Amino acid sequence: MELQRAMDNVFWLQGKGRQLVSLNLVRGQTVYGERTFNVSGKEYREWIPSRSKLAAALYKGLKDLDLKTGYKVLYLGASSGTTVSHVSDIAGENGQVYAVEVSEEMGANLILLAEKRRNIFPIIGDARKPEDYPKGIPKCDFLYQDVAQRDQVEIFLKNIEMFLKNGGSAALAIKTRSVDVSKPSRKVVEDTVRALRARLDVKTSIDLYPYQKDHALIIVRKNVQPTGKSDKNK
Ligand SMILES: C[S@@+](CC[C@H](N)C(=O)[O-])C[C@H]1O[C@@H](n2cnc3c(N)ncnc32)[C@H](O)[C@@H]1O
């Protein structure tokens, strides 16, 4: 079996076929029934595109995503932690993943996950109210949102404004049917991109079919302050 780098701690595993894997931060522990592979003394977890929109985007050709080892990440809509666990693999032991989930039921699993993965900080709260998050969340290098809500753009912009460093990137996973069932999926994505463009630099938009039907992932960058000053070190 051979590994080809996709991004920090994420690889394409070439064996019988080709699959995406992430370097397991907690050796011997799986999260959602995914398979593991041992290559040259290290353990990798399969990252399944039908279970994770971020994995689906990588299968659909997403490259150069500015999400790296050591990054601080704000993750909105963490659920029980399927994709969060892979983001935790990417961030590594020096990174921090602040994972927000509104449902207490899902949040209970997230808290259990965070007990095993020390770089995950679970927040049981509403992403619509970032002002109510616990104190101490720093400005982050990367923001990921997957809340499947009609007002997802407002939630995204509000959290970016409060918690993303200038120059940082963010990814918005959208479920087009949650926004408007009467409109074709493509039109919902176009309208969302247009709304984001007014405030952010939209890098790319990826239709996640066939891994995730009626879903897209939009990547944006928060513009550097007009003064030219970066707050990267805040
Ligand atoms: C599609 S699921 C997320 C799946 C997850 N991102 C993954 O890939 O493993 C959407 C999640 O967003 C949560 N959610 C919905 N509205 C929210 C809000 N306002 N604040 C925080 N979480 C929210 C839901 O409870 C649900 O767990």
Does residue 34's CB lie within 6 angstroms of at least one atom of ligand 1?
no
* CA–CA dist 165, 221 (Å, integer): 10
pLDDT of residue 179: 80
Question: pLDDT, tens digit, for every residue of 52-67?
Answer: 999 999 999 999 899 9
Look at residue 232 and tell me whether its pLDDT is greater than 80.
Answer: no
* CA–CA dist 155, 3 (Å, integer): 37
Q: Please, are residues 232 and 167 in contact by the beta-carbon 8 Å criterion?
A: yes
Question: pLDDT, tens digit, for every residue of 132-174?
Answer: 999 999 999 999 999 989 999 999 999 999 999 999 999 999 9
Going by the DSSP 8-state scheme, the letter that residue 209 receives in this structure is T
Q: Domains of the chain by range and CATH?
A: 2-46 (3.30.200), 53-221 (3.40.50.150)
And the tokens for 202?
């939209």
Distance 137 CA to ligand 1 centre (A): 19
Distance 227 CA to ligand 1 centre (A): 36
Distance 101 CA to ligand 1 centre (A): 6
pLDDT of residue 116: 97
pLDDT of residue 222: 97
Q: Which long-range contacts (CB under 8 A, 24 or more apart) does 55-60 make?
A: 55/20, 55/83, 55/86, 55/211, 56/208, 56/211, 56/212, 56/215, 56/217, 57/171, 57/206, 57/208, 57/217, 58/6, 58/7, 58/10, 58/20, 59/20, 59/211, 60/206, 60/207, 60/208, 60/211
For 84-94, what is the mean pLDDT? 98
Question: pLDDT, tens digit, for every residue of 16-34?
Answer: 789 999 999 999 999 999 9
Distance 147 CA to ligand 1 centre (A): 4
* CA–CA dist 193, 138 (Å, integer): 27
- pTM (two decimals): 0.94
Look at residue 220 and tell me whether its pLDDT is greater than 60.
Answer: yes
Task: Calculate the average pLDDT of the chain.
Answer: 94
pLDDT of residue 228: 46
Q: Could you tell me the pLDDT band of residue 15, with boundaries at 50, 70 and 90?
A: confident
Question: pLDDT, tens digit, for every residue of 107-127?
Answer: 999 999 999 999 999 999 999
Does residue 58's CB lie within 6 angstroms of at least one atom of ligand 1?
no
